[in-house]
Amino acid sequence: MTVILGIETSCDETSAAVVADGREIRSNVVSSQIELHAPYGGVFPEVASRAHIERISPVTNQALCEAGVTLGEIDAIAVTRGPGLAGSLVVGVNMAKGLALGCGIPLVAVNHLEGHIYSLWLAGPEYRFVPGGSAPDPAAPPTPIEFPVVLLVVSGGHTELLLMTAHGHYQRLGGTWDDAAGEAFDKVGRLLRLPYPGGPSIQKAAESGNPRAFDFPRARLRSDSGEDNYDFSFSGLKTAVLRTLQGQYPGLKSDDPLPPDAPVTDLAASFQTALVDVLVEKTTRAALEHGAKEVFIAGGVSANSALRAGMIQRVGLPVRVPPLALCTDNAAMIAGAGYYRWMAGQRDTLDFDVLPSWPLA
């Protein structure tokens, strides 16, 4: 049995977790800073790094206590090296290096996006949906993951479409040209004066709205030769929501409250549908064209119920989604990815720097 301590501080969640053999979560402590950043309507980097400094030690102790293990029983420490906010990443990396040095524990540096991907290895059989099938049975024996897999990683900072051919092997198919999917949710949430973060607030508002009330644009990006590609663009969609509001309420300022008759739920539902449509369409085409055996979605936006439902209905292949608690940032996924890196022989020395922009493929 290999026991990994994971540490994650790439953005605004301070997290530590203990995971056995890359699949069994012994503990996963997440201290969210949402309340600190909500007044700013987005993550304030300096506030984030200072909160990580306060929280990283107690969070790590709690993760070890809840798992019932001591540092002496940890085989390796997996820590997020990037991508993320530099001032946040250094807090987790320095904690990991301190423990590694003090206790003689090997260190494995992990890419945050790969962490999101390995949240799928922590998901039970109830998170695998087959086309036209009934609800998955949690008691069913786990179905081994078959490569190649097409992966959609959608979070506050990333929108990446990837082909995974083996553990640790990725080919980038496409990504966003401007806003990440989660960023679009957060920005439109602000336009609609919904509580931060925008993703969950828009999902909730959309439940009572009409998704066809507004016909928002679906950016179909093409390569120079005119073929469809796998890239995304969401800033036009956000601008379309803004223009609609400005058209209905000329003179409305960005910090004015919306008039009580504003069609917030219809705008939220129409925006969410347009965004989900593009994500599902491009992922489906990528899966067909690359002969994928399965499709995975991961990252904060993979918590979105419309995206999950759309993908499961339309992709025509088995779809795996992470448990809700593992969609947003957490250290269990870092420990999970770290386990496969550790098994592949990766060991990192104490002199590595953080990588705020670290492409996966």
Residue 274's identity, in one-letter code, is: A
User: In angstroms, rounded to a whole number, what is the distance separating the alpha carbons of residues 232 and 180?
Assistant: 9
Distances (CA, A) of 37 to 110, 269, 328: 26, 25, 16
Beta carbon nearer to ligand KG4, 85 or 95? 85
Contacting ligand KG4 within 296-335 (CB under 6 A): 299-301, 303-304, 328-329
- Dihedral of alpha carbons 100, 19, 336, 16, sign: negative
Nearest distance in Å: CB 6, ligand KG4: 15
Q: How many residues bind Zn ion (CB under 5 A)?
A: 2
197 interacts with, out of ligand KG4, Zn ion, none, CB within 5 to 8 A per kind:
ligand KG4
Beta carbon nearer to Zn ion, 156 or 211? 156
| Residue from the set 82, 199, 318, 336 that interacts with ligand KG4 by CB under 6 A | 199
Contacts of 132 (CB under 8 A, 6+ apart): none
Residue 56's identity, in one-letter code, is: I
| Site map 158..197 versus ligand KG4, x via CB under 6 A | ------------------------x--xx----------x
Q: Interacting stretch for Zn ion, rule CB under 5 A, among 26-34, 148-156, 192-200, 261-269? A: 148-156
Q: Interacting stretch for Zn ion, rule CB under 5 A, among 170-178, 250-258, 259-267, 328-336? A: 328-336
| By the rule CB under 6 A, 211 interacts with ligand KG4 | no
| Distance spanning both ends of the chain, measured CA to CA | 30
Nearest distance in Å: CB 226, ligand KG4: 32
Contacts of 326 (CB under 8 A, 6+ apart): 28, 119, 122, 123, 332, 333
Q: Which of 13, 41, 11 is nearest to 189 (CA)?
A: 41
| Residue from the set 8, 179, 329, 348 that interacts with Zn ion by CB under 5 A | 329
280 interacts with, out of ligand KG4, Zn ion, none, CB within 5 to 8 A per kind:
none
Backbone torsions φ then ψ of 172, nearest 5 degrees: -80, 125
Q: How many residues bind ligand KG4 (CB under 6 A)?
A: 19
Nearest distance in Å: CB 83, ligand KG4: 9
Q: Which of 326, 194, 157 is nearest to 271 (CA)?
A: 194
Query: In this structure, what DSSP letter does residue 155 have?
Result: -
Nearest distance in Å: CB 298, ligand KG4: 8
Backbone torsions φ then ψ of 226, nearest 5 degrees: 90, 0
Q: Which residues lie near Zn ion (CB under 5 A)?
A: 155, 329
Q: Which residues lie near ligand KG4 (CB under 6 A)?
A: 11, 155-157, 182, 185-186, 197-200, 203, 299-301, 303-304, 328-329
